[in-house]
């Protein structure tokens, strides 16, 4: 039975799965509805850098044949937006940078290959801050992304493209990467669910690296159930990634639906800062109280080294970035600006290819790694990182998860922080510690302030995404926030 395009794009992944399997809709219909919505709205929102129209249609046709033959899996026929730091053999991969304009990878990232094998539909490569370096998606070399809830506000970053696409129903699901909060922060700003898995849970092979000891790929969705479905599809060990951990993948869906009786929820006194918006504070406090009403035990805890996480991150991450981006030299791939000497070629290529934020972080990282400063900065930062992890290890002896704000503010105005990098970096103050410790975290909508979404962050023990999802799902089901949608058509006009 035919269904209007507007209704199709608003289906959750779980609802779409049921209707696809029942043959009530086809993947071709679902895909065309999304492509039409992208055509109508993305010119204003800027979620996509490359729409994979022909690829998506071909994948949808294959998915429908698989479903007809009874050979489908959870992701078969489901439309997904891929952050443009994930390599794809059949579409450009630019990392939001002029340095890689027109670049085509000869292979798929592992997460892309796994979804392709399951019959997923790739709508396109979603916008990102350049090389995933940013907190607002204003650092994209091509165009900035606008928040679907308010076109004058940022969507968050660096995964602002897939977050906004899922929020605006320009994709059913999205994949992003999280180095210091780049999934959870835009999920909070855009009012969707975002999951950063444990470091090593999901293969990073084929992810254009920012900071290799911090990066992790994870899902965006409009519900916790959908996020669990996508995480199950991409998680697991990979021989191509030596940092992926050889552990089996739990049944994340089975963890959903359990109540919170017996769950100990930590509330850390350090997860509040000067300048935190009162509306965010109230929304998060109400959400944590709701967890208690659902049967959870609230436990006051302390994470004393949290205050050093931001400074530690901005030594370690730029240091790793400066090493990772050294490969972009105007010789092997990407932009080439030749000069009379090799040094001149490097200078011209990098001078034109990298944007201001990327250059800033390369310089910070190179300085921290330079002779005479390595021990004073980089080595000391790694020692503090260990202390941050030890804080969490001690907390897990008392609690099962930690509940906190995802961000100290709601989405801020476009351009409001571009001239002040420190204020921009402060946006990630609550998300960075999880990356320092390598633990999983989720952001789930928990209310509104100034008419804009607020996110509740749930942090868990390493490789215990199941409990994080259980708590997030229980809270989500007890509230109505997931049912609210931005008026994207009106905002985009």
**What does the domain layout of the chain look like in residue ranges?**
5-266+399-492
Enter the tokens of residue 120: 């997923």
Query: Which entry of 26, 97, 135, 182 is annotated as an active-site residue?
Result: 182
Among this protein's residues, is 196 annotated catalytic? no
Among this protein's residues, is 182 annotated catalytic? yes
Query: Which entry of 83, 125, 196, 461 is annotated as an active-site residue?
Result: 83
Alpha carbon dihedral 238, 240, 243, 245, in 10-degree steps, equals: 20
- pLDDT tens digit at each of 493 positions of the chain: 446 777 999 999 999 999 999 999 999 999 999 999 999 999 999 999 999 999 999 999 999 999 999 999 999 999 999 999 999 999 999 999 999 998 999 999 999 999 999 999 999 999 999 999 999 999 999 999 999 999 999 999 999 999 999 999 999 999 999 999 999 999 999 999 999 999 999 999 999 999 999 999 999 999 999 999 999 999 999 999 999 999 999 999 999 988 999 999 999 999 998 889 999 999 999 999 999 999 999 999 999 999 999 999 999 999 999 999 999 988 877 898 999 999 999 999 999 999 999 999 999 999 999 999 999 999 999 999 999 999 999 999 999 999 999 999 999 999 999 999 889 999 999 999 999 999 999 999 999 999 999 999 999 999 999 999 999 999 999 999 988 999 886 433 3
382: exposed, middle or buried (Cβ count in 10 Å: 0-12, 13-18, 19+): middle
Query: Which entry of 97, 135, 140, 158 is annotated as an active-site residue?
Result: 158
pTM (2 d.p.):
0.96
Q: Which residues pair with 193 in a beta bridge?
A: 221
Q: Which CATH architecture has domain 5-266+399-492?
A: Alpha-Beta Complex (3.90)
Query: What is Dmax (Cα atoms) for the chain?
Result: 70
CA-based nearest residue to 129, from 139, 119, 121? 139
Rg value, the chain, Cα = 21
Contact criterion met (CB below 8 Å) for 196 and 241:
no
Among this protein's residues, is 449 annotated catalytic? no
pLDDT at 493: 32
């Amino acid at each position: 039975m035919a269904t209007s395009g507007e209704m199709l794009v608003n289906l959750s992944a779980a609802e779409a799965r049921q209707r696809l399997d029942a043959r009530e809709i086809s993947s071709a219909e679902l895909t065309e509805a999304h492509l039409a919505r992208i055509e109508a709205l993305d010119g204003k929102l800027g979620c996509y850098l490359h729409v994979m129209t022909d690829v998506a249609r071909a994948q949808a046709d294959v998915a429908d044949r698989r479903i007809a033959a009874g050979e489908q899996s959870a992701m078969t026929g489901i439309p997904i937006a891929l952050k443009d730091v994930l390599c794809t053999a059949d579409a450009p991969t630019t990392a939001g940078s002029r340095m890689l304009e027109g670049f085509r990878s000869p292979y798929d990232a592992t997460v892309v290959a796994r979804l392709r094998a399951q019959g997923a539909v790739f709508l396109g490569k979603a916008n990102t801050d350049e090389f995933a370096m940013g907190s607002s998606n204003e650092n994209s070399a091509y165009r900035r992304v606008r928040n679907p809830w308010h076109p004058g506000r940022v969507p968050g970053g660096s995964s602002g493209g897939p977050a906004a696409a899922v929020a605006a129903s320009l994709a059913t699901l999205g994949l992003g990467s999280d180095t210091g909060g780049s999934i959870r922060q835009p999920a909070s700003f855009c009012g969707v669910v975002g999951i950063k898995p444990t470091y090593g849970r999901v293969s990073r092979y084929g992810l254009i690296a920012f900071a290799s000891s911090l990066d992790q790929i994870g899902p965006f969705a409009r519900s916790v159930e959908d996020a669990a479905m996508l995480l199950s599809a991409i998680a697991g060990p990979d021989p191509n990634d030596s940092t992926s951990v050889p552990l089996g993948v739990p049944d994340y869906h089975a963890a959903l639906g359990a109540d919170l009786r017996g769950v100990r929820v930590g509330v850390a006194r350090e997860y509040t800062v000067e300048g935190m918006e009162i509306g965010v504070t109230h929304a998060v406090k109400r959400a944590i109280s709701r967890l208690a009403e659902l049967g959870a035990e609230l436990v006051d805890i302390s994470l004393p080294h949290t205050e050093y996480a931001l400074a530690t991150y901005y030594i370690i991450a730029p240091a790793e970035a400066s090493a990772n981006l050294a490969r972009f030299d105007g010789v092997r791939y990407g932009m080439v600006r030749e000069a009379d000497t090799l040094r001149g070629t490097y200078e011209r290529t990098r001078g034109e290819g990298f944007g201001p934020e990327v250059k800033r972080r390369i310089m910070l990282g190179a300085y921290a790694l330079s002779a005479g400063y390595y021990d004073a900065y980089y080595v000391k930062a790694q020692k503090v990182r260990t202390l941050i992890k030890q804080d969490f290890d001690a907390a897990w002896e008392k609690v099962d998860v930690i509940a906190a704000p995802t961000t100290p503010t709601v989405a801020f105005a476009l351009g409001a922080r571009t001239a002040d990098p420190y204020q921009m970096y402060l946006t990630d103050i609550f998300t960075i510690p999880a990356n320092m410790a390598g633990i999983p975290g989720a952001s789930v909508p928990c209310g509104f302030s100034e008419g804009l979404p607020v996110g509740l962050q749930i942090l868990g023990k390493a490789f215990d995404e199941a409990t994080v999802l259980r708590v997030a799902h229980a809270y989500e089901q007890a509230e109505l926030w997931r049912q609210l949608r931005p008026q994207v058509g009106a905002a985009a006009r």
